[in-house]
Amino acid sequence: MNETPQPSPIATFYQAVPGVRAPMRADAAALGTVPTRAFQYCEALRTASSFGWYVFPPIDFALQWDGARILWTYRGARAWYPLESAQFPGFAAEFDRRAPKRLRGFAPPFLTALLEPGMVQLWTGLFIETAADWSVLVRPPANLPRSGAFELYEGIVESDRWFGPLFTNLRLAKTDVPIHFDAEMPLVQVQPLHRSTYAADACSRFGVVRAMADFPSAAWSRYEENIVKPNLEPARPAGAYAAEVRRRRRGTCPVHAA
């Protein structure tokens, strides 16, 4: 019996650190933290939440910053250690066992204190590559509650041309308190982007209508259809936009929005 061939993956994650949790498809409910009404009716929120993949820290660990020096520790460690550049526990030897001989001694660091105050580069324990002309946006998880103790930076990596460790950069925002990172909670959300979507040409092609007097009639008609008519119908069903978007994604003909 012939099986339907599977499409090639847009992104491939390589698990380098033994035992690191595998990425998972991001969740429309943001791991159940989205309010029920928003999950049911706000398709914009659901779509953003489920776009891409969750990536997790490779181990439970903690950082502490006194405004000048950063310390770190991890599950099973006996002390706090000053952070400059630190390997994942035991990984350097594992890397040298598995890597080609010419690459031994070049294991990527797990944590690196950067020159800027409170800045840390963190490796997820994964490598990544993408299909031709696809990049990845590495960003904080969409719509998940965030810690006030650190901030994640966002970055776009052209991972079809550059193969290497999947890193993120963060800025510590609190001093003199341990800041914990849980290996069971997503650290970043990795989202696929076709290179054409963020090319200079695409980002330069935008317009601005500067006054309502200049709004075209087609824009007012769309406003009437999307905003005014539903509010004039006393028995209108909730979540018409969400229902229409879901029907469209299933490939069925959309019903007139109520």
pLDDT tens sequence across 80-136: 999 999 999 999 999 999 999 999 999 999 999 999 999 999 999 999 999 999 999
Residue 254 lies in a domain: no
Least confident window among 140-149, 151-160, 234-243, 244-253: 244-253
Token duo for residue 177: 């308190």
Bigger pLDDT: 3 vs 199: 199
Q: Say which residues have a Cβ less than 8 Å from residue 258's Cβ, sequence separation at least 6.
A: 230, 233, 236, 237, 240
Residue 238 lies in a domain: yes
- Give the 3-state secondary structure of residue 252: coil
Bigger pLDDT: 223 vs 3: 223
Q: Residue 255: pLDDT above 60?
A: no
Look at residue 143 in the predicted model and tell me its pLDDT. Answer: 96
**Residue 170 CB neighbours (<10 A):** 23
Residue 19 lies in a domain: yes
Q: Residue 154: pLDDT above 80?
A: yes
Asked whether residue 155 falls in the same domain as residue 235, the answer is no
Asked whether residue 56 falls in the same domain as residue 162, the answer is yes
Q: What is the mean pLDDT of residues 169-176?
A: 98
C-alpha 26: how far from chain center: 8
Report residue 240's pLDDT band, with 50, 70 and 90 as the boundaries: low
Looking at the DSSP bridge assignments, the partners of residue 86 are: 111
Look at residue 233 in the predicted model and tell me its pLDDT. Answer: 83
Domain hosting residue 234, numbered range: 209-249
β-pairing, 53-55 with 61-65? unpaired
Report residue 236's pLDDT band, with 50, 70 and 90 as the boundaries: low
Query: What is the number of domains present in the chain?
Result: 2
Asked whether residue 103 falls in the same domain as residue 67, the answer is yes
Report residue 210's pLDDT band, with 50, 70 and 90 as the boundaries: very high
Taking the C-alpha atoms of residue 17 and residue 187, their distance in angstroms, rounded to an integer, is 16
17-65 pLDDT, tens digit per residue, is: 999 999 999 999 999 999 998 898 899 999 999 999 999 999 999 999 9
Residue 177 lies in a domain: yes
